[in-house]
Chains A and B, each alone.
Chain A
């Protein structure tokens, strides 16, 4: 592998600019004549807009424009869309309500954008926004998906009767019912998967610039997928045709899914720029981030699992109510369906599964994919179910899992997925050894003597990454293909630019992608640049989410490298009068195998561009493009074990040990993979014991700042014990599975299983705050 190639712990190339404050984010962008936007947002969760009076605001100092939804509609700007069509079990299409970038007649959640003010300075825009007078007629609101379909609940969109967007089924109801008839044991449980706020370090931002001379728009935006943003803004929002719209996503400070979607603000900034004649910048403040970034999770589920007398699983029945918030965000329909129910087989051989998902509107922020997206909800449900079942049967949770593991591959589950590789027993064994499972009872006794409750919990998660292939997702309702593109440009001096449709917003692509090229072409890492995030540079791409950049994005680079390598070898063979089949690339040169004849890499590149002496008929230059559409998803899996100690006097949970044994397939940079697991597990621990978005009944977000929304701090988590095993993915040329979301998927059930083990009751919801743990201990005693 060398010191810079695949498998090496190369320090991240991009960190120099990040840690010296030299990164360039949207808020760092300055365009001559640029002005500042402030949005006037709804203070009500549900209300009719009776009147908007902008006169006073227009007269304020520095104000250039005060624009409303009516003007936006008059200019033909379209409504926001959800890009994945789901059909209900009765065959009817999902019931999508209108989402205008600026609300016209009605507001549907606290934070809904109504008016935009453009002014010379941000402070002037803020002052003028306060002077906009909007008269509302308040309506009753509903925030809880489990109550939004009740009689008397307010109707949020006319299109969706009873606030039901779709009523969707997956699996086989009859076979599952038959399996339950044969069952010796049925375990039932109700599970809530708590709503989360994404909290990317960099808030969302947009800078729209309309160039009158060229009749051309440029949008700098905090996006995980600038090409998708351009496509959607052109095809659906009528902002501008694609050739007249450039989207740039420069350095982006974290996304976790929340920056996949196209939000009202970037559309409005582009439109307002044309309308006012000045470039318009908007940067969210932290309160706007809390209120309007697409939230994650928020499922209410009832589940039942059927076992035979030997504790083999016979069937699994799941009914989920998914809260999609006030509007359908870009991929909101896919998250609780094809990214959730398709994973309900977990790591287990389950003959029959039936899932029903009802997607429901409420007067809350839109909900969409957030690190893990559907898979954390599935893993939490299954892994809580396995642990609770083992406790009810009085058997070891590890052995109940082992007995039911899928042991041969490929394995077709009853819920679409065909697992192509895995070794679940190895992960379980590795984690148990790492956690000193054998010594746990002694540690529990010791803790008891000190007045503490100690518990251990397992989680054997599986997830699906690199969502694919395009034809398959298209048949399931996706509005886009899920391939990736790459272009490898070898310059005349041998240095290399790789243009990728993947987007890095913390993942370290500038390092890992370069490692792949360095390995393949035997050139130094410093001679390789990764170019991404600009639709004028990279022709087309699908972006970064669902842990797809390695499995899909790098595979596209491999395909382009195949072409580059073939042409380079032809040139070298011609220069050395050798057979092209004998050429090998090593130590910065193309060599004739078994001889000392060689052409340095840079000389071959120069020859490609001077074109003085190329094989007959060969075009000059060395630049190749490839599009890669994977054959299947990849299936990262692993086993997490969490050990906690609880202070029964306060309910405080101390996570004393966390062991992660992951199977990510082949790994490009172990250090970056460990970083992803650290971050993912920490977010998972956050969901389990700290984080939870909390709306009151009137629809006000109570957890709208860090005073009330608890983010994980360093002191909340232990030093993790990590290891990886490797069953390479057979579905892509690199054997990569993906590692970006695993921690957030696998950690929550491990933590809650550990806490419930310690306190001896299952009656606990996430986040398991000290108050809730204390109350659970107290109610268990009574």
Chain B
């Protein structure tokens, strides 16, 4: 790691002021710190937003769920309120990394980083969530833009995510045997405005919605509806752990299992 100046921000406004130039925001640091340790990332300053109270906590009001950006995966995985409103998201959080990662990593950090194999982006897309920043509100659909790219502008900080609890939802993932990141992760949600299926870990441009699977499931929200479903392999990643063909196949398998779990 190169030397770096560390700041602990007291408020979102304070953080926005400090996050200038080559500074980087850090929350759990689960991606940034390892990159810095191997000298692949070299920010001049780190602005720690993980202690800002306003960014923490889970609120459920009626069907509306709001999760503060600095809420850890562990807190999402073990929240009683969320377990009632959207158990699929709790389940997803419980499958991220290992216990150490879940106690440090945060939902805001995960979506702002937009790793193509991260779990949360799939949930945000499938739930039709809104990403709240210190400047505006962005629909998930418009927020995730390719590999590690988002709609966030300089000085813009994710403060929360909010969504309407779905009638039914589930997340299934098939893990990379080494890193345990998703080779394919599929989040299926059935809400007031229909069925959404979002896929992480597989797309060569990051998280995406599968129109093929959504169409099939719109007719019949049942695993059987996907018996002969196919997802095209083009635009999927190939690496040493999984070819595009294998990923295309796994997307259907994981979707089938997710639908079965959502209906269970």
Contact = CB atoms under 8 A, between A and B. Distances in A.
A710 B246 contact: no
Given A650-B250, A650-B253, A710 B178 contact: yes
B134 to A, nearest CB: 33
A708 B240 contact: yes
A649 B253 contact: yes
B242 A707 contact: no
Interface in B147-198: 174, 177-179
B241 interface: yes
A711 B253 CA distance: 26
Contacts of B8: none
Contacts of A702: 240
A650 B250 CA distance: 7
- Size range of the interface on A? 20 to 34
A694 interface: yes
Interface in A111-162: 123, 126-127
Interface in B236-256: 240-243, 246, 249-250, 253
A652 B254 CA distance: 13
Interface residues of B, number: 16
A649 B223 CA distance: 14
A649 B250 CA distance: 8
Interface centre among B1, B2, B241, B246 (most CB of A within 10 A): B246
Interface stretch (A402-410, A421-429, A729-737, A769-777): A769-777
Contact of A775 (B1, B174, B178, B246): B246
A706 B242 CA distance: 17
A683 B179 CA distance: 18
B178 A771 contact: no
Given A706-B179, A707-B179, A710-B177, A771 B249 contact: no
Nearest to B181: A707
Contact of B178 (A649, A652, A709, A774): A709
A353 interface: no
A40 interface: no
A110 to B, nearest CB: 16
Nearest to A709: B178
A770 B249 CA distance: 12
Contact of B241 (A123, A706, A771): A771
A771 B242 contact: yes
Nearest to B241: A771
Interface string A691-721: 0001000000011001111110000000000
Interface centre among A126, A127, A694, A774 (most CB of B within 10 A): A774
Nearest to A651: B246
Nearest to A716: B177
A649 B226 CA distance: 14
A691 to B, nearest CB: 9
A399 B239 CA distance: 42
Given A706-B179, A707-B179, A709-B178, A769 B250 contact: no
A769 B243 CA distance: 12
B243 A771 contact: yes
Contacts of A710: 177-178
Interface string A576-608: 000000000000000000000000000000000
A96 interface: no
Interface string B119-160: 000000000000000000000000000000000000000000
A774 B249 contact: yes
Contacts of A568: none
Contacts of A694: 240
Given A650-B253, A702-B240, A769-B241, A708 B246 contact: no
A426 to B, nearest CB: 37
B243 A707 contact: no
A771 B247 CA distance: 9
A706 B34 CA distance: 13
Contacts, number: 38
Contacts of B241: 708, 769, 771
Interface in B2-27: 2
A415 interface: no
Contacts of A775: 243, 246
A774 B240 contact: no
Contacts of B253: 649-650
Contacts of B2: 127
A650 B183 CA distance: 11
A689 to B, nearest CB: 8
A774 B179 contact: no
Contacts of B178: 703, 706-711
Contacts of B38: 287
Nearest to B177: A710
A690 interface: yes
Contacts of A650: 174, 250, 253
A123 B243 CA distance: 39
B247 to A, nearest CB: 9
Interface in B213-264: 240-243, 246, 249-250, 253
A649 B39 CA distance: 40
Interface string A645-659: 000011010000000
Interface string A618-661: 00000000000000000000000000000001101000000000
A284 to B, nearest CB: 14
Contacts of B39: 126
A708 B117 CA distance: 14
Nearest to A286: B38
Interface string B34-45: 000011000000
Contact of B179 (A123, A708, A770): A708
Interface in A264-296: 287
Nearest to A647: B253
Contacts of A652: 174
B186 to A, nearest CB: 13
A758 B249 CA distance: 21
B222 to A, nearest CB: 17
Interface centre among A126, A694, A702, A708 (most CB of B within 10 A): A708
Nearest to B250: A650
B246 A690 contact: no
A276 to B, nearest CB: 25
A770 B240 contact: no
A703 B178 CA distance: 10
A690 B177 contact: yes
A708 B240 CA distance: 9
Nearest to A690: B177
B44 to A, nearest CB: 16
A650 B251 CA distance: 10
Nearest to B38: A287
A221 to B, nearest CB: 26
A123 B3 CA distance: 9
A476 B246 CA distance: 49
A569 B246 CA distance: 74
A365 B95 CA distance: 36
B58 to A, nearest CB: 29
A711 B179 CA distance: 10
Contacts of B174: 650, 652, 770
A711 B39 CA distance: 24
Contacts of B246: 771, 774-775
A472 B241 CA distance: 46
Nearest to A711: B178
Given A708-B240, A771-B243, 18 more contacts: A126-B39, A649-B253, A650-B174, A650-B250, A652-B174, A703-B178, A703-B240, A706-B178, A707-B178, A707-B179, A708-B179, A708-B241, A710-B178, A711-B178, A770-B174, A771-B241, A775-B243, A775-B246
Interface of A: 123, 126-127, 287, 649-650, 652, 690, 694, 702-703, 706-711, 769-771, 774-775
16 contacts: A287-B38, A649-B253, A650-B250, A650-B253, A703-B240, A706-B178, A707-B179, A708-B240, A708-B241, A709-B178, A711-B178, A769-B241, A770-B174, A770-B177, A771-B243, A774-B246
Which 7 residue pairs of A and B lie closest in terms of their CB atoms, listed nearest first?
A710-B178, A707-B179, A710-B177, A649-B253, A771-B246, A708-B178, A771-B242
